[in-house]
């Protein structure tokens, strides 16, 4: 633990005791509480010591003395507040836990102070639910715990909407998904949903048993390290397992989810389509967002309508060096001022080409937008999805695969692995036709074979992938098989191979049926 700045256990115990003394008179106790909790979360031997100290400080004898001499805020309440936060973060050993429960019952039975009784009751209930946290509570969570209150968690969903969901220190992702589904009227959908943590650059599904308060703490820590608004994380409720995309009512919010998530795939370059179709999709997006074309309408930037990779590919088709520019051997110019200047000029010309191609593409999109006059929002969404459905892999989730090798010995690099309800497929990036496709019914087993390799076995065929998305792929395949079995009402003989060294959370279902 020296890497985190800790010294010996004895010295850290003395520091904790000093922090407890400071807590009595601290105007702002939350930073002190967070520091104490972090130390005990990192240094397990100190947990029992701290629990014993707080049991002593919150004893009935101390309480009677305090209430007789103190007319202001009772300093002992700070200890009860810290004990409340501890009970929601980590547990003591079994022997100390039994003694703590006895202590809480005794405090409640003697009825010395109503507020103290409330803390004791709250802590006793929390001890029954706490199983250990990954992170210490966030600032907002500690404020809620000090008042024994729930906190409100903002959950976004595709489109501009969001909901405020009350949570506790023990609320899991599955519970939030269930509440969101009920709030939005999606509990009867045949598809499943999950929570995602996302920012402007990436997103990741959250495991169903993950404690949401831990996720919020991670967001708080990331925000403190990088306050840039583009890197701010948020929770998002989205479609996860697409089991039935054909029977979603066009009037439902689920249809909006399908449309918005399809558009996300398009702008990320994950929906293989010809350039003509991509231009039509961008025009339909504008019609859906803004209605009929108007020269005065402010429209979104190109990167929110059209895949940036396509614009870059167009720019790279043109020569970077102007006609007549002499070519020199790379070695002659390497490391020289002239070589550096030439590279700068090439970069400037490439950026200029990107701007030119972007303007050309935007102009073509606007012309198509004009031709859509009269299309309603629903018509635009339906036309958008009709084009997207032309791809045979519509509805699958794509993951980047760095390296792939089949049982026949063939191998490829930089592919997409598409996981869907009916099959698992491999695609070359940007191509619509699958290189390999395995129907779900033919898969005998799947799992993680080492730190970055995923294996799928179908009959006598073994497919091996190197990818950084092992957890996400495993979670989604588990979710699809589980959802399919529930809908069929039977158990298929699918085995899940796992490395025993991996943490069990890799294999959990990150969503539930709604």
Say whether both 249 and 285 belong to one domain: no
Strands 453-458 and 162-167: unpaired
Distance CA 149, CA 133 (A): 19
Say whether both 221 and 318 belong to one domain: no
Q: Which residues contact 393 (CB under 8 A, 6 or more apart)?
A: 272, 418, 420, 425, 427, 432, 434
* 507 located within any domain: no
* 94 located within any domain: yes
Say whether both 78 and 156 belong to one domain: no
164, pLDDT greater than 90:
yes
**Structural contact between residues 482 and 476, judged by C-beta atoms closer than 8 angstroms:** no
* Residue 307: φ, ψ to 5°: -60, 125
Minimum mean pLDDT range among 233-237, 272-276, 374-378, 502-506: 502-506
Coil, strand, or helix at residue 373?
coil
Question: What is the token pair recorded at 478?
Answer: 């588990």
Say whether both 331 and 403 belong to one domain: no
Q: Which residues contact 204 (CB under 8 A, 6 or more apart)?
A: 196, 197, 198, 472
* 495 located within any domain: no
* 346 located within any domain: yes
Confidence of residue 75 (pLDDT cuts 50, 70, 90): confident
* 498 located within any domain: no
- Answer with the one of 350, 373, 389 that is the final residue of a domain: 389
Say whether both 375 and 314 belong to one domain: yes
End-to-end CA gap in the chain: 44
Say whether both 482 and 420 belong to one domain: yes
Q: What is the mean pLDDT of residues 218-240?
A: 86
**Structural contact between residues 367 and 286, judged by C-beta atoms closer than 8 angstroms:** no
Helices 337-370 and 275-290, interaxial angle, to 10°?
60
Say whether both 377 and 421 belong to one domain: no
Distance CA 461, CA 438 (A): 10
Say whether both 241 and 280 belong to one domain: no
* Of 15, 26, 38, nearest in space to 86 by CA: 38
Question: What is the token pair recorded at 497?
Answer: 């191979």
Say whether both 291 and 367 belong to one domain: yes
Distance CA 235, CA 508 (A): 19
- Answer with the one of 229, 257, 285 that is the final residue of a domain: 257
Provide DSSP, 278-340: HHHHHHHHHHHHH-S--TT-----GGGTS-HHHHHHHHHHS-SSPTT-----HHHHTTSHHHH
Place of tokens 């490391």: 335
- One-letter-per-residue 3-state SS of 462-506: EEEEECCCHHHHHHHHHHHHHHHHHHHCCCCCCEEECCCCCCHHH
Comparing 105 with 227, which gets the higher pLDDT? 105
Residue 483's CATH number = 2.30.29.30
Question: What is the token pair recorded at 150?
Answer: 């729930």
Q: Which residues contact 46 (CB under 8 A, 6 or more apart)?
A: 9, 12, 13, 16, 39, 40
Count of domains observed in the chain: 4
Q: What is the pLDDT of residues 379-428, one digit of tens each?
A: 999 999 999 999 999 999 999 998 777 766 677 788 999 999 999 999 99
Say whether both 48 and 91 belong to one domain: yes
Structural domain boundaries, residue 45 = 2-63+74-131
* 195 located within any domain: yes
> For the chain, what's the residue count?
514
Residue 323's CATH number = 1.20.80.10
Count of C-beta atoms within a 10 Å radius of residue 7: 11
Distance CA 286, CA 361 (A): 14
Residue 198's CATH number = 3.10.20.90
Say whether both 7 and 127 belong to one domain: yes
> DSSP code of 111?
T
* 233 located within any domain: yes
Count of C-beta atoms within a 10 Å radius of residue 474: 21
Say whether both 160 and 196 belong to one domain: yes
- The model carries a pTM of 0.85
- Answer with the one of 389, 416, 438 that is the final residue of a domain: 389
What is the strand order of the sheet 445-450 is part of? 434-439, 423-428, 411-419, 397-406, 461-466, 453-458, 445-450, 495-497
* 433 located within any domain: yes
Residue 27's CATH number = 1.25.40.530
C-alpha 141 chain-centroid distance: 19
Q: What is the pLDDT of residues 249-291, one digit of tens each?
A: 999 999 999 999 999 999 999 999 999 999 999 999 999 999 9
Q: What is the pLDDT of residues 438-494, one digit of tens each?
A: 898 889 999 988 878 899 988 888 888 888 899 999 999 999 988 877 776 644 444
């Amino acid at each position: 633990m020296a890497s985190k700045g800790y010294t010996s256990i004895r010295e850290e115990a003395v520091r904790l005791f000093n922090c407890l003394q400071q807590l009595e008179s601290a105007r702002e106790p939350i930073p002190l509480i967070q520091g104490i909790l972090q130390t005990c979360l990192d240094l397990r031997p100190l947990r029992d010591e701290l629990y014993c100290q707080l049991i002593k400080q919150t004893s009935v004898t101390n309480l009677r003395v305090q209430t007789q001499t103190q007319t202001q805020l009772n300093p002992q309440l700070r200890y009860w507040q810290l004990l409340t936060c501890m009970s929601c973060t980590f547990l003591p050993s079994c022997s100390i836990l039994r003694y703590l429960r006895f202590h809480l019952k005794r405090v409640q039975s003697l009825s010395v102070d109503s507020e103290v009784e409330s803390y004791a009751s709250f802590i006793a209930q929390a001890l029954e639910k706490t199983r250990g946290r990954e992170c210490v509570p966030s600032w907002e969570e500690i404020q809620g715990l000090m008042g024994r209150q729930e906190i409100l968690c903002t959950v976004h969903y595709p489109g501009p909407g969001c909901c405020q969901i009350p949570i506790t220190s023990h609320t899991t992702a599955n519970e939030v998904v269930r509440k969101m589904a009920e709030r939005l009227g999606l509990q009867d959908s045949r598809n499943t949903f999950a929570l995602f943590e996302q920012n402007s650059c990436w997103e990741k599904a959250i495991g169903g048993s993950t404690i949401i308060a831990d996720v919020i703490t991670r967001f708080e820590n990331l925000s403190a390290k990088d306050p840039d608004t583009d890197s701010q994380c948020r929770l998002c409720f989205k479609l996860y397992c697409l089991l039935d995309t054909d029977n979603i009512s066009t009037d439902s919010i689920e249809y909006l989810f399908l449309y918005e998530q399809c558009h996300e795939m398009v702008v990320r370059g994950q929906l293989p389509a010809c350039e003509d179709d991509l231009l039509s999709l961008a025009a339909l997006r504008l019609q859906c967002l803004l209605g009929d074309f108007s020269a005065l309408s402010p429209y979104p930037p190109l990167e929110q309508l059209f895949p940036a990779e396509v614009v870059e590919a167009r720019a790279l088709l043109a020569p970077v060096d102007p006609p007549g520019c002499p070519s020199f051997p790379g070695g002659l110019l390497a490391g020289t001022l002239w070589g550096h200047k030439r590279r700068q000029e090439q970069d400037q010309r490439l950026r200029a080409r990107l701007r030119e191609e972007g303007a050309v593409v935007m102009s073509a999109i606007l012309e198509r937008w004009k031709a859509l006059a009269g299309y309603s929002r629903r018509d635009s969404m339906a036309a958008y999805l009709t084009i997207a459905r032309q791809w045979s892999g519509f509805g699958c989730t794509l993951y980047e695969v760095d390296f792939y090798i089949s049982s026949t010995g063939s191998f490829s690099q930089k592919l997409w692995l598409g996981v869907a309800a009916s099959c698992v497929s491999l695609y070359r990036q940007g191509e619509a036709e699958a290189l390999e496709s395995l129907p779900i019914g033919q898969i005998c087993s799947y799992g993680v074979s080492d730190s970055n390799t995923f294996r799928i076995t179908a009959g006598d065929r073994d497919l091996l992938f190197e990818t950084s998305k092992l957890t996400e792929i495993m979670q989604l395949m588990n979710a699809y098989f589980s959802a399919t079995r529930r809908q069929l009402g039977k158990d298929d003989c699918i085995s899940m191979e796992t490395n025993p060294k991996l943490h069990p959370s890799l294999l959990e279902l990150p969503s539930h049926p709604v």
